[in-house]
Amino acid sequence: MFDFNLVINYLPYFLKGIGYTIGFSLFGIIFGTILGFLICLGKMSKMSWLSLPFKAYVGLFRGTPLLVQILVINFGVVPLILGQSNSIIAGILALSLNSSAYIAEIFRSGIQSISEGQGEAAATLGLTNTQTMLKIILPQAIKVILPPLGNEFISLIKDSSLASVISAPEVTYWAQAMNAQYYRVWEPYLTSALIYLILTLSISGILHIFERRMAVND
Amino acid sequence: MIEIEHLKKCFGENIVLKDINFKVATNEVVVLIGPSGSGKSTLLRCIAKLETTNEGKIMVDNVKVTDPTYEIHKMKGKIGMVFQHFNLFPNLTILNNITLSPINVKKVTRAAAEKEAHELLKMIGLANKADAYPSSLSGGQKQRVAIARSMAMHPDIMLFDEPTSALDPEMVGEVLSIMKMLARQKMTMIIVTHEMGFARQVSDRVMFMDGGKIVEQGRPEQIFDHPQHLRTQNFLSKILV
Ligand SMILES: Nc1ncnc2c1ncn2[C@@H]1O[C@H](COP(=O)(O)OP(=O)(O)OP(=O)(O)O)[C@@H](O)[C@H]1O
Ligand SMILES: [Mg+2]
């Protein structure tokens, strides 16, 4: 029924796929965090003409399916910029842009969880907005921001499977390839499911240890 | 030192300060009293540039604070503000709460800033708390640190918005005695407080506010013992019983 030999034969491809899956998610979370923070600052600006485009950006990326974004970026945006499509760049770009919209909201709620009195005290002491953000607000908000940011990373691990539709060689892509090669269903797809499960469970385990460490430091 | 002319402040439709005019001289201690919602906090916050204003002007040492292009951080801590809820930075030790601004705003060396911070901590009786975090301090201790943190910037004037209102009664005295010490050192201060005994003791002038206006002002004996206006009399009779 379930032929383990087939899985073992395909293991090198799955390992390669795991590398890409983790790579997509890591780049996605890193670029997404940098971009998300900047978008959050823009969105929180008191000048409405400045915050409007950032609000539109967040609305656009949260209001349309990631799959559609991946297709548009792979077949439209990347060829427009590079002159040819590149599934790896398109995958990273789509995941980064998409997660940045969610991460911007994570930063916003983290920053807003800090009482206004903190910023007011800093301002009367002569600190600039940037100094206040870096030395007072962010160090406190980080405790609120990290847990949902970890969840976002786990979502990215799972969402990166959508990059298989543009033939990015991550885990799901190889599962589909295996399915096409052997005409088997259970071996490729159950294996890929198990891989995702191991990845997400280990990451949430690591995050838990991390959070407990931070709680102790309080 | 401070000159306020025809100051008006609205929150939407609500006019909170109406045609406020007064001056505060260097070394003067002014106490601001008045019922809840009369605009005392808003007035202090306008002077500290924590609020924008609608009309009129506020000059602090010949700097026009109410100029819309004037940004609060440019004051570099010249106007110190002490808040009801302390607003210490919980992510920093007591020492770093005090040195943060001298180091980052005044560009004082860390060694010099820490030396002065230790002196300030000794002055407020918390020399042994330098490396503690704010969460381990009592309310009274937190407020003393907040005062020291403002002092470290050598402000020209200190604004206090009900500095003892959030404290347990047994801790009020320790904060008031620091403020009395500042008054003896000739610090210019505007203090919003409900501690009338303290007000009588330290202030050069008492101003009574009601409905966004300064109704009456004068020497503390004059305001407390012979208030001229009915509203002042009513307010004091409620508070002094
Ligand atoms: N941020 C704000 N937005 C809208 N209205 C405000 C704001 N802050 C204060 N007000 C209003 O302004 C008026 C004056 O408030 P303020 O806090 O200055 O009074 P106060 O004299 O300090 O009172 P208290 O003794 O209760 O502290 C009140 O009617 C209050 O509701
Ligand atoms: Mg008030």
Q: Across the interface, do A126 and B75 touch by the CB < 8 Å criterion?
A: yes
Q: Across the interface, do B101 and A136 touch by the CB < 8 Å criterion?
A: no
Within 10 A of B165 (CB to CB), how many other CB atoms are there?
Answer: 13
Do B184 and B64 touch, CB atoms closer than 8 A? no
Which residue's CA lies nearest to atom 1 of ligand 1? B11
- Cβ burial, residue B216 (10 Å; 0-12/13-18/19+): buried
How far is residue B67's CA from residue A156's CA, in Å, rounded to a whole number?
48
Which residue's CA lies nearest to atom 30 of ligand 1? B37
pLDDT the model gives residue B241: 61
pLDDT tens string, chain B, 241 residues long: the values are 899 999 999 999 999 999 999 999 999 999 999 999 999 999 999 999 999 999 999 999 888 989 888 888 888 889 999 999 999 999 999 999 999 999 999 999 999 999 999 999 999 999 999 999 999 999 999 999 999 999 999 999 999 999 999 999 999 999 999 999 999 999 999 999 999 999 999 999 999 999 999 999 999 999 999 999 999 999 999 887 6
Which residue's CA lies nearest to atom 24 of ligand 1? B36
Q: Across the interface, do B149 and A125 touch by the CB < 8 Å criterion?
A: yes
| pTM assigned to the model | 0.88
In the predicted structure, residue A216 carries a pLDDT above the cut 70: no
pLDDT the model gives residue A212: 85
User: What SS3 class is residue A86?
Assistant: coil
In the predicted structure, residue A41 carries a pLDDT above the cut 70: yes
Task: Give A46's contacts in chain B (Cβ within 8 Å).
Answer: none
Q: For ligand 1, say whether the CB of B193 is within 6 Å of any of its atoms.
A: no
- What number is the ipTM of this complex? 0.93
Q: For ligand 1, say whether the CB of B16 is within 6 Å of any of its atoms.
A: yes
Q: Across the interface, do B89 and A118 touch by the CB < 8 Å criterion?
A: yes
Task: Give B106's contacts in chain A (Cβ within 8 Å).
Answer: 126
Pick the residue from chain A with its C-alpha nearest to B75: A126
Query: A84-131: per-residue pLDDT in tens?
Result: 999 999 999 999 999 999 999 999 999 999 999 999 999 999 999 999
> Amino acid identity of B20?
I
The domain locations on chain A are 4-216
Task: Give A126's contacts in chain B (Cβ within 8 Å).
Answer: 73-78, 101, 105-106, 153
Task: Give B91's contacts in chain A (Cβ within 8 Å).
Answer: 136, 139-140
Nearest to B194 by CA among B84, B71, B95: B84
Helix axes of A138-159 and A87-112: crossing angle, nearest 10 degrees: 150
Residue entry with tokens 């008191």: A46
Q: Distance between the two ends of chain A, CA-based, in angstroms?
A: 54
> What 3 state SS string does chain B have?
CEEEEEEEEEECCEEEEEEEEEEECCCCEEEEECCCCCCHHHHHHHHCCCCCCCEEEEEECCEECCCCCCCHHHHCCCEEEECCCCCCCCCCCHHHHHHHHHHHCCCCCHHHHHHHHHHHHHHCCCHHHCCCCHHHCCHHHHHHHHHHHHHCCCCCEEEEECCCCCCCHHHHHHHHHHHHHHHHCCCEEEEECCCHHHHHHHCCEEEEEECCEEEEEECHHHHHHCCCCHHHHHHHHHHHC
Nearest to A92 by CA among A45, A1, A159: A159
Number of the ligand closest to the Cα of B161: 2
How far is residue B94's CA from residue B148's CA, in Å, rounded to a whole number?
10
Q: Which CATH class is domain A4-216?
A: mainly alpha
Q: For ligand 1, say whether the CB of B212 is within 6 Å of any of its atoms.
A: no
B45 CA distance to ligand 2 centroid (A)?
10
Q: Across the interface, do B100 and A129 touch by the CB < 8 Å criterion?
A: no
Average pLDDT over residues A71-86: 95
For residue B17, the cross-strand partners are B9
Q: For ligand 1, say whether the CB of B37 is within 6 Å of any of its atoms.
A: yes
- Cβ burial, residue B225 (10 Å; 0-12/13-18/19+): exposed
Of A124, A139, A140, the CB nearest to B81: A124
Which residue's CA lies nearest to atom 17 of ligand 1? B41
| For testing contact with chain A, the best of B45, B51, B63, B73 (most A CBs within 10 A) | B73
For residue B188, the cross-strand partners are B157
- Whole-angstrom CA distances from A164 to A86, A151, A161 are 13, 22, 6
